[in-house]
Amino acid sequence: MGQILRNWRVTLAAFFAVAAIIGSYLLARGIESPPAAQASTESALLQAIAEKDSDGDGLPDWEEALYGTSANITDTFRLGMADGEAVAKGLIVPRAIADMSTLASSPAVPGPNGLPPAPAEGTLTAAFAQNFFTLYLAAKQRKGGENLSESDMANVANEALSSLSSAITAAPDFKSAKDLTVSGSGAEALRAFAADAEAVLLKNTNNATTSELNYLKNAVENNDITALSHIASIAKGYRDSAAGLAMLPVPQELASVDLALINSLMRMSEIATDFTRVNDDPLAAMLALQQYPQAVLALGNAFVRIGTIYKDADVSLLASTPGASFVNLISDVAASKQVAKKP
């Protein structure tokens, strides 16, 4: 039983490998262009989250939450063996989640009954644990109370994950076309919008020195206690940028792509916010990581379309011109990557 979720982790890690198509991550520092990221970052980070074992007891931290064991105590229930070994021997089984208090952000410690708190009620990790436990009991009942094989447990885990995934719906878009004010068209309107949009993004530039993905990596792999606060700041920057852009009158030529940009920024904010929950709701962070590559691609595509619209309208903005960074973001990234490739 100690490896009940191995198959699920491997499958999910393989899925994240599609992130290799993403070459660089945009807006890590507001309007500035961040350096290109390692293509395998998401896959490696997912594996790190899934396999992180703070106390070295053979049971990954997020599985400790499912079983009600502590990620900081090797022998939570004083059984004379590490938690991972106890799970493998069937001495510890998944806990039912009912009427549990909210999980604190600090490391879990045993309460008066000797048990650490379960995942916070309402979190995805708690929902998965509840569903897993129900399916686990049903599977045992079907086998007449006998212990389940590793294959049986893998099937239970997959069924629980499938059930949880089907119950999750994507958040609605932040804005729709009717929420935007479309005003003007032509070269002057495009130049004015570029300057105003650039000002919004610059206003919401934060003091981050890398992307939310790298901060998440530092939080998971290096236990960087400041990383999550940086991610929260980045999430706020995305959110405030989306809200600010939504307030600007937009030229007719840009209405569609402006809407896509606004919703992409807000989606990035939601994903980054879920990254900050990696300690108290790791499954939410893992599912957010799953959505991250597509969200970054959507954001990048919005800026590509913006650059194309300005080019087609024969509106060019020199580097020193207000709005140039907004219009030329993608071309600037491409140029910097070409310079970096030169010997």
Distance CA 248, CA 259 (A): 11
- The last residue of one of the domains, among 143, 167, 191, is 167
Question: Whole domain around residue 88: which residue ranges?
Answer: 52-167
Is-contact 152 143, C-beta < 8 A?
A: yes
Same domain, 191 and 266: yes
pTM: 0.68
Q: What is the pLDDT of residues 163-217, one digit of tens each?
A: 666 666 667 889 999 999 999 999 999 999 999 999 998 888 888 888 888 888 8
Same domain, 130 and 255: no
Distance CA 330, CA 235 (A): 21
**Looking at the 3D structure of the chain, how many domains does it have?**
2
Answer whether residue 84 is part of any domain.
Answer: yes
Is-contact 82 75, C-beta < 8 A?
A: yes
Same domain, 218 and 128: no
Q: What is the pLDDT of residues 297-319, one digit of tens each?
A: 888 889 889 999 999 999 999 88
Q: What is the pLDDT of residues 8-21, one digit of tens each?
A: 333 333 223 222 22
DSSP conformational letter for 82: -
User: Which pLDDT belongs to residue 92?
Assistant: 75
Is-contact 237 30, C-beta < 8 A?
A: yes
User: Which pLDDT belongs to residue 206?
Assistant: 80
